[in-house]
Structure 1
């Protein structure tokens, strides 16, 4: 997990460099905006729903509750701590550091995306089920189209947010765990 976390973190940091301190889209950003330009505001708003704080917090609460119910206290703490750490680092460190603007808002990496992807990554790590991976990917694709269609973010903001969220959650999830010692008698 450490290698994947390092690669994702490094890619997130490097991806934002060409756009730091600016407010203009790259060629890929413009192509993505053109691809979702047909979405009406209503459709784009629906696609953005998975990134809304009340949805993200509800998903995180379900993950924490399920872990606690199963007696997995460390997993419960990580299910909450990983996303919170990712959101705080993104908001207070990366966004001001990159200083990328759109509509008078700092946008790189996308905070909407960091919130959603950090919780989805936790759910994937907790369940290790293929259908959770597929549903998470579909939610991210829908949210990406919505975020770009609503004019909230450029594609590179979403990709950077995705990479950063995965990196932070994988690092927190790599905390060494105690293996129970079998009873000898």
Structure 2
């Protein structure tokens, strides 16, 4: 699992650096303005549907699915990480990064996107648990949909979503790279 430490560190560093130009401000960057324009034609109903994957009920259900899959496979340590890694990412985002970057939109701290951190952390765990390409593809599609919804509804700038994605991946990969005991092999 040491091989995931390098991409984890790169994602974490990029997340931290991406927010620096926007710290303490409310002004969108050029990329943010382009993203706003790209989704401006979508109706509010479509945008609400697109943001659905970030709803707490969906994120919790996906997280519980990851825990269940780990427990079913006899991987108790992984089940603990499947639960703990997303929680850690969300807590660090809300308690540390958002106040540190102090980026505002509509009277709310927005960098990095907590909606995105929760979704991406759970999706990253699911990819690590299942090791299935189709899970990664479905997760990527859910993230793209949520990004359009979050930007289109004015909840976040695109850079908030990208920063949240990078940070969530970093936290989950760093947490997942912690050494843990191998499950006991079945004798039967």
TM-score interval (norm. to shorter): over 0.9
Q: Which among 3, 13, 16 is matched to residue 13 of structure 1?
A: 16
Q: Which among 66, 70, 85 is matched to residue 67 of structure 1?
A: 70
Q: Stretches of 4+ moved more than 3 A in 1? A: 179-183
Q: 1:48-94, CA deviations, whole angstroms, 9 ceiling, x for partnerless residues? A: 00001111011001111121122110010000000000000000000
Aligned residues: 183
Once the 2 structures are TM-superposed, how far is the Cα of residue 177 of structure 1 from its aligned partner? Answer: 2.6
Q: Which among 117, 122, 126 is matched to residue 125 of structure 2?
A: 122
Q: Which among 75, 80, 95 is matched to residue 77 of structure 1?
A: 80
Alignment pair present for 1:26 and 2:29 = yes
Q: 1:128-166, CA deviations, whole angstroms, 9 ceiling, x for partnerless residues? A: 111011101000000000000100000000000000000
Stretches of structure 1 lacking an aligned partner (at least 5 in a row): none
Q: Bigger shift: 80-89 or 170-179?
A: 170-179
Please report the TM-score for the alignment, with normalisation by the length of structure 2.
0.95
Match of residue 136 from structure 1: 139
* RMSD between aligned residues: 1.3
